[in-house]
Amino acid sequence: MNILVTGAAGYIGSHTCVELLNNGYDVISLDNYSNSSPKSLERVEEITSKSIKKYECDLRDVEGIEKIFEENKIDAVIHFAGLKAVGESCKIPFTYYENNVSGTVNLCQVMAKMGCKKLVFSSSATVYGGNDIPYVETFKTGVEISSPYGRTKFMIEEILKDAAVSDNEWKISLLRYFNPIGAHPSGKIGEDPRGIPNNLMPYISQVAIGKLKELSVFGDDYETKDGTCVRDYIHVCDLARGHLLALERLQKDECEGVEMYNLGAGKGYSVLEVISAFEKASGKTVNRKFAPRREGDLPEFYADAKKAKEYLGFETELGIDKMCEDTWRWQQNNPKGYE
């Protein structure tokens, strides 16, 4: 079975490719490498001893997408490609809407034309916006989203719902990720942010290895267990497995139009808890200081993980210690990422 993976060379895409190849799927990758390196796909091939058919293509290039569908019989698409930096999206919103929203519309139009209507989409817990926790899939979305990035995810979800209303052949799974961290246990693939990382885990691991001086812990006066923000961290390999389960449900025709699922562990860790788990896993001290709150941060959110368990049979298996151990292995083996 041929699966087109957009954004395959990225952090979550590459881990999902491993899972797909290890489970007998054939992978066709589409990526413009704007935020990744083709080396990640070579590493995926090394890990799995299987090959990937690779296309360097931008989702804003409709003819490029068509060519891939003409040259291959695609059974389903897992769509990761998109820009994801929250702060950057506030500075260049048009670029985000064009890349993420128009790119997805282009992809779907080609899929419809070619008769391929099974899609798994990377959404985000950010679509919930508010602070009523845990987040349940039935919550109203799009109300208090704090960035253009988050709004692209909300808009794409709405567009995909419209697609399913217009044509009942569409089977779409919207996967709302919580906070993916960790790396493949081989230490060969992992998160490779460009420049100074915005997200907590890559920042911590770069401090631990001595690349960055110290971590700023944003806020120590939240109403949480220790005053720092609480998030629902999910190991990227668990997350990758969630995509396979969603895909299987689409293939079995069990999916009714559009379905949405939280992919999270269903429990939260504070920033200080993550730091101490990382120190334990790495044996290193993570220098840190308290800093003012970061604009747009919510004090605490985590998933209600029941729906994914009931319909996809998905449950996380890998805990915070393993997330930190695997991140550290990747960081030590690849201090400069894929460079």
Structure token pair of residue 75: 């059974």
Q: Is 141 in the site for ligand UD1 (CB under 6 A)?
A: no
CA dihedral 33, 34, 37, 42 (to 10 degrees): -20
Q: Pick from 24, 34, 117: which is nearest to 77 by CA?
A: 117
Q: Is 217 in the site for ligand UD1 (CB under 6 A)?
A: yes
| Neighbour count for residue 243 (Cβ, 10 Å) | 27
Residue number of the CB atom closest to ligand UD1: 229
299 three-state secondary structure: coil
Q: What is the smallest separation between the CB atom of 291 and ligand UD1, expressed in angstroms?
A: 7
Q: CA-CA distance, 237 to 172, in Å (whole number)? A: 22
For tokens 């998160």, the residue is: 191
* DSSP code of residue 72: S
Structure token pair of residue 121: 């989409």
Among 3, 25, 29, 35, binds ligand NAD (CB under 6 A): 35
Nearer to ligand UD1, 44 or 236 (CB): 236
Q: What is the smallest separation between the CB atom of 272 and ligand UD1, expressed in angstroms?
A: 9
Q: Is 236 in the site for ligand UD1 (CB under 6 A)?
A: no
Nearer to ligand NAD, 32 or 173 (CB): 32
Among 103, 202, 219, 242, binds ligand NAD (CB under 6 A): 103
Q: Is 294 in the site for ligand UD1 (CB under 6 A)?
A: yes
Which candidate in 128, 149, 222, 261 is catalytic? 149
Among 15, 39, 79, 84, binds ligand UD1 (CB under 6 A): 84
Among 229, 277, 286, 320, binds ligand UD1 (CB under 6 A): 229
Q: Is 124 in the site for ligand NAD (CB under 6 A)?
A: yes
Partner in contact with 7, chosen from ligand UD1, ligand NAD, none, beta carbon below 5 to 8 Å by kind: ligand NAD
Q: Is 163 in the site for ligand UD1 (CB under 6 A)?
A: no
Is the preceding omega at residue 180 within 30 degrees of 0, hence cis? no
Q: Is 34 in the site for ligand UD1 (CB under 6 A)?
A: no
What backbone phi and psi angles, to 5 degrees, belong to 289? -140, 155
Q: CA-CA distance, 243 to 170, in Å (whole number)? A: 17
- 55 is an active site residue: no
Q: Is the dihedral of CA 200, 201, 207, 208 positive or negative?
A: positive
Q: What is the CA radius of gyration of the chain?
A: 19
Q: CA-CA distance, 128 to 157, in Å (whole number)? A: 12
114 three-state secondary structure: helix
Contact predicate 177/84, CB 8 Å: no
Degrees (nearest 5) of the Cα angle 27, 32, 195? 115
Q: Is 146 in the site for ligand UD1 (CB under 6 A)?
A: yes
Nearer to ligand UD1, 40 or 124 (CB): 124
64 three-state secondary structure: helix
Partner in contact with 294, chosen from ligand UD1, ligand NAD, none, beta carbon below 5 to 8 Å by kind: ligand UD1
Nearer to ligand UD1, 67 or 288 (CB): 288
Binding mask 56-95 for ligand NAD (x = CB under 6 A): --xxx-------------------xxxxx-----------
Q: What is the smallest separation between the CB atom of 126 and ligand UD1, expressed in angstroms?
A: 4
Degrees (nearest 5) of the Cα angle 264, 295, 292? 105
Active site residue ranges: 149
Give the residues lining the site for ligand NAD (CB under 6 A): 7, 9-13, 31-36, 58-60, 80-84, 99, 103, 122, 124, 177, 180
Give the residues lining the site for ligand UD1 (CB under 6 A): 84, 86, 124, 126, 146, 150, 179, 198-200, 203, 215-218, 229, 231, 271, 294, 296-297
